[in-house]
Structure 1
Amino acid sequence: MVRSLRKYLSEYLAERRIRRTRLVTKDGHCNIEYGNIKYQNHFAYILDFWTTLVEIRWRFVLIFFVASFTMSWFIFGLIWYWIARDNGDLTWQKPPKGHKPCVENVSDLTTAFLYALETQTTLGYGGRVITPQCAGAIAFLIIHSLVGALINCFWCGVVMTKISLPKKRAKTINFSEAAVICPKNGALCLQIRVANLRKTLMIGSQIYGKLLRTTITAEGEAIILDQVNIDFMVESGKDNLFFVCPLTLYHVIDKSSPFFEMAVDTLHQQEFELVVFLDGTAESTSSSCQVRTSYIPQEIMWGYKFQSIISRRKEGKYRVNFSNFSKVVPVPTAHCAYCFHNEKGHHHHARNGTDNHGFEVIDINDPPSGTKM
C-alpha cells in the first residue's frame, strides 16, 4: 500500500514537472511569462482596449460590464442632481408653491440616480418624467440616451465577439496523445494522428511542426528554444487535407531530419519539444483558427504504429472507432535511422501493444507517395 502510494506520488510529481517545463501544453496553451516589461508597454494594452477585452477571461468581462453600467448611471445621476439643484428642485432647497421642476419627482441624489437608470435602460416606470421647463435638461436627455445606446452596442459587440472566437472550434480537433516511429512506405517515419470531431470540414487545413531545443553554436553560445522546421506529409488529398476522417500524418526521418541522429535507447534522453500546428478555416463560420499540441521525448514511442480505427459496416457506411484513436501496436523497427538506411534487417521489436478485437479494418490510403503540407 505504501509502495503504491509512493509510486503514484512520484509519477504525479514527474508529470507535473514535465507539464511545467513544456513551452506548449497538450491543449495548446503557451507556457511562458513576460518579465520586466516597461510601463509604456502596459499602457499599450489600455490603448488597444478592444483586443484586451476580447482576450481577457469572462469573469473580468462581467466585472467591467457591471461596473460600466453602474458608473454611467451614477455619473449621469450626479448630472441630473446638478440640473435639479440648479433649478431649485431639491427638497432641501424648499421650492415655492407652484414651482415647475425640470424633472418631476427628482428631489435628492437617490431619485436622481433612479431617473438616470430608468432613462438609460428605457424602463419608464412613470414616477419620474422630464418637463418642458428646462431646455438644457431636454438636450442632456438626448445625450444621455445616445451614450446609453453606445454602451449597450459596445458590450453586445464584445460578448458576440468572444462567443464567436474560434477557440471552441479548436477543442473539437484532437491529436493523439503520443507520436510513434515506425517504417512506412519504405522509409522510417515519425507519425502522429489527428481527428476532426465535427462533420463540418476545416477548409484549407495545413499541418506543420517546429522542433524546439537548446543548441550550442560554434562560438559556444547557447540558443534556447532554437526552432527547426518539421515537415509532415499525408497520403490523402492534393493541396489540402480532406479532413472528414482521422488522418495519420508522418515525417520522414532522413539525413536532413533532426531525428536522424537519435536511436531507440537515446530518444528519451534527449531534451526537445515537438510542437505541431494545424491551421484552417471553419466551414460553418468562415473563421480562421489554429490548433496546437506538443510532444516531448517521453511521448514518442519507437517501434510502434497506430491501430486502424476506420471500418465499413455491411450496409456500406463508414465507422470511426475513437476508442482506438491513441492506441498503438508494436511493429519491427530498426534501432536507429542509420541502421534503417544502412543495415537492413537490424530491427528492434516492441513487445507491448493492444489488439483491435472485433473490428473490421479497411485501408483507405492509396499507395502513391505523400503530398507535402
Structure 2
Amino acid sequence: MAAKENDVEVKILSPAAAQRRQRLVTKDGHCTLHTPPAPGSPATWLLYLQDVWGTVVALRWRWVILAFCTSFLAHWLLFACLWYLLAHLNGDLMVDHDAPPPDHTVCVKYITSFTAAFSFSLETQLTIGYGTMFPSGDCPSAIALLAVQMLLGLMLEAFITGAFVAKIARPKKRAGAIQFSPCAVVGQHQGETCLMFRATNMLQRPLVDVNINAVLYQDHGDQALYQSKVEFQLDNLGANPCPFFIFPLTFYHQLNRQSPVYQALQEGSATHFELVVFLSAAQEDTGESCQKRTSYLKGEIEFDHHFATVLRLDTLGQYKMDMSNFAKVLPDTTNSKAEVDKEYVVQINGDGSERVE
C-alpha cells in the first residue's frame, strides 16, 4: 500500500521483507542492550557498590526485603558476638550475677550465654526496654559498646527506611500508567501524510507538561547504529508541551523529504530502523517528572490507516471515552463518505471528524 504526499510516493516494507533482529527497546520501555565492562575499567560489582543507594532503590522488592532482613539480622548477630566477648573478657560468664564478688563489676546483668547476648543486642537495637538485662554505669566498655551499637543501628535504620520510601515514591511507578498504542500508522492528517502514534494516561490523576522526544536508530548495513532526531507535534501546539494529559493523545510527524523516516519507509529500502519514543511528564500533585518509553519497528507501522475515535460527545453533551478503540486502527477513508451516525463525534486531537445527525 502507498500514500502520496506532495507528489512523492511513500511505501512501507512488509514485516517479512525486513531482517529479523533484536530490538533495542522493548514495547514496555526496557533496554535490551547489556554493556560488558571495558578493558581496564573497574569490575561491574564494584561500580554497583560505589552507588549503593541507587543500586538498592533499583532492586526488585523481593531483593530489597531480603537485604532488609539480612542487614538487621547481621547487625544483631555482630553485636551479640561483641557483647558475649565483652562478658567473657570481663569474667561475667563465671560469676553469680545475683551475688557477684565485691571486687567484680558486671558489665551487663545476666549475660551468661550467647543466647542472652543476642537477646540483649536485639533489645538494644529495637529500644524495646530492658528487663533483667541492663548495662552497668560502672563499666566504661559496656557504655562505649552501647553507644557504638546505637549509632550504627540508627544509620542502618535511616538507610533502610529511606530506601523503602524512595522505592515506593519513585516516579517510575507513575509512568506505568502511561500506555502507547502497540503500532504506529501512516495516514492523512490535515492534508499531509503523517506518521502517528497514540498515548494515554490510564489514571484519573492528570499529568502536566507532556513532552515527546523520538530518536530513529538506523542500520545502513555496516552494523553501526546511526541516530536521528524525529520531531513529533500535537495538533497546533507544535513543539510546545501539552499542558494537560487526561485523554488519549495522538502525536504526528510530517513525512516529507526532510524527514529522517522518509527514506527508511520507502519500498525497496534495506535500511533497518527502530523508532524509540520518549514521553516525559510531570505529576500534578508532586511535581516529579516521569518518563515512559516504547519503540516501533518497520513491521509495526500500518500504512494508509488512522486511529479509531476514542473520545465522543453523546446526545447529552457528555464526553465519553471508548478505550476499546485506543489501539484500533482503521483504513484511511479520508476521501470516502461515511454513513451518518446518530450521535455526535467531536474531533479532538485529530481523532475522527465532526458528524451530525
| Band the TM-score falls in, shorter-chain normalisation | 0.7 to 0.9
Matches within 5 A, 1:130-279: 130-215=135-220, 222=222, 224-235=224-235, 237=237, 239-241=240-242, 242-261=244-263, 266=268, 270-279=271-280
Q: Which moved more, 1:320-329 or 1:119-128?
A: 119-128
Q: Distance in 1 between matches of 2:289 and 2:308?
A: 31
In the TM superposition, residue 32 of structure 1 has moved relative to its aligned partner by 0.8
Cα RMSD (Å) of the superposition?
2.9
Report the TM-score when normalising by structure 2. 0.82
In the TM superposition, residue 313 of structure 1 has moved relative to its aligned partner by 2.9
Deviation digits for residues 27-86 of structure 1, max 9, x if unmatched? 000011122445614222212211111112222222221121111111111111122112
Note closer, same or farther for the CA distance 1:230–1:224 as it changes in structure 2 (3 Å cut). Answer: same
Identify the match of residue 84 of structure 1 among 72, 87, 100: 87
In the TM superposition, residue 95 of structure 1 has moved relative to its aligned partner by 7.8
Deviation digits for residues 68-109 of structure 1, max 9, x if unmatched? 111111111111112211221114x77895334211110122
In the TM superposition, residue 140 of structure 1 has moved relative to its aligned partner by 2.1
Note closer, same or farther for the CA distance 1:63–1:315 as it changes in structure 2 (3 Å cut). Answer: same
In the TM superposition, residue 320 of structure 1 has moved relative to its aligned partner by 1.2
Q: Are the equivalent residues in 1 in contact too, given 2:109–2:133 (CA < 8 A)?
A: yes
SS of the residue aligned with 1:284? coil
Q: Alignment identity in percent?
A: 36
Q: Are the equivalent residues in 2 in contact too, given 1:180–1:302 (CA < 8 A)?
A: yes
More relative contact order, 1 or 2 (CA 8 Å, 6+ apart): 2
In the TM superposition, residue 277 of structure 1 has moved relative to its aligned partner by 0.7
In the TM superposition, residue 266 of structure 1 has moved relative to its aligned partner by 4.7
Where does residue 337 of structure 1 map in the other structure?
none
Matches within 5 A, 1:267-346: 270-331=271-332
Note closer, same or farther for the CA distance 1:95–1:240 as it changes in structure 2 (3 Å cut). Answer: closer
Q: Are the equivalent residues in 2 in contact too, given 1:73–1:116 (CA < 8 A)?
A: yes
Where does residue 26 of structure 2 map in the other structure?
25
Where does residue 128 of structure 2 map in the other structure?
123
Note closer, same or farther for the CA distance 1:95–1:232 as it changes in structure 2 (3 Å cut). Answer: closer
Note closer, same or farther for the CA distance 1:234–1:106 as it changes in structure 2 (3 Å cut). Answer: same
SS of the residue aligned with 1:168? helix
In the TM superposition, residue 129 of structure 1 has moved relative to its aligned partner by 1.8
Q: Are the equivalent residues in 2 in contact too, given 1:270–1:297 (CA < 8 A)?
A: no
SS of the residue aligned with 1:273? strand
SS of the residue aligned with 2:312? strand
SS of the residue aligned with 1:260? helix
Q: Distance in 2 between matches of 1:309 and 1:134?
A: 76
SS of the residue aligned with 2:147? helix
Structure 1: any 5+ residue segments left out of the alignment? 1-13, 217-221, 334-346, 350-354, 368-373
Amino acid at match of 1:296: L
SS of the residue aligned with 1:289? strand
Report the TM-score when normalising by structure 1. 0.79
Where does residue 66 of structure 1 map in the other structure?
69
Deviation digits for residues 227-252 of structure 1, max 9, x if unmatched? 11111011154622132211111100
Note closer, same or farther for the CA distance 1:275–1:356 as it changes in structure 2 (3 Å cut). Answer: farther
Q: Across the two proteins, how many residue pairs are aligned to each other? A: 325
Deviation digits for residues 311-344 of structure 1, max 9, x if unmatched? 12333321111110011111259xxxxxxxxxxx
Q: Distance in 2 between matches of 1:307 and 1:274?
A: 22
Moved over 4 A (4+): 93-97, 262-267, 355-360
Q: Are the equivalent residues in 2 in contact too, given 1:213–1:227 (CA < 8 A)?
A: yes
Note closer, same or farther for the CA distance 1:44–1:356 as it changes in structure 2 (3 Å cut). Answer: farther
Whether 1:52 aligns to 2:55 is: yes
Q: Distance in 1 between matches of 2:199 and 2:245?
A: 9
Deviation digits for residues 209-243 of structure 1, max 9, x if unmatched? 11111126xxxxx2522111111011154622132
In the TM superposition, residue 264 of structure 1 has moved relative to its aligned partner by 7.1
Note closer, same or farther for the CA distance 1:95–1:328 as it changes in structure 2 (3 Å cut). Answer: closer
Q: Distance in 2 between matches of 1:135 and 1:157?
A: 33
Q: Are the equivalent residues in 1 in contact too, given 2:186–2:195 (CA < 8 A)?
A: yes
